[in-house]
Every structure is written in C-alpha cells, then in structure tokens.
Amino acid sequence: MATRTGQRYSGIMLVRTLIALIVAAALPAGAAFTQSRTIDPSKVAPEYRAAAEKRVAELKKISDCKKKADAQKVQPRYRTKFLSDCIDK
C-alpha cells in the first residue's frame, strides 16, 4: 500500500512541475507581446508613410503625457482628464 501512495504523490508532483514549467515558459512570451509597438515610418509603403509618421507623433505625445501624469502623481480618478487636456494642447 505504501508504494501506491508514493506513486500517486510522485505523479501529482510531476503534474505540478510540468504546469510550473509551462507557466514559466509562457511569461516571457507574453511580455514580448505587450512591449511597445511603434511603427517605423521608413519601413511603411510610401503611400501610407504620412499616416505612419502622424501616428508615431501621436503615440509619442500620449507617452509624454503619461510620463507627465506619473511625474506629477496624478490620482487615477483625475488621470483621464489630465491626459485629455495634455493631449489637446
């Protein structure tokens, strides 16, 4: 009877170890997808280059406003208004 309990215990440990390895392998992959996705206008087709440059400028402005909000420690309830006003300037 002792061997069956030992086998059951080692099986559970094997499953837990496999799950932990899968999660550990998936975390860096998820982080790669959340990184900045800025577009390089020089790599865009010429007919869309102006729109790409405009989008990059807009994203930079949003990023700068978010940094200002963090630096000024704007409370979450006022953050949307702060960002809206900052972007409109």
CA distance 41 to 57: 11
Asked if residue 69 lies in contact with residue 87, where contact means CB atoms within 8 angstroms, the answer is no
pLDDT confidence tier of residue 78, bands split at 50, 70 and 90: very high
Mean residue pLDDT of the chain comes to 82
**78 to each of 61, 83, 86, how far by Cα in Å?**
18, 9, 12
Report the pLDDT averaged over residues 52-77: 94
What are the residue ranges spanned by the domains of the chain? 1-35, 38-89
pLDDT confidence tier of residue 23, bands split at 50, 70 and 90: confident
Task: Report pLDDT for 30.
Answer: 55
Identity at 54, one-letter amino acid code: K
Residue with tokens 């800025």: 38
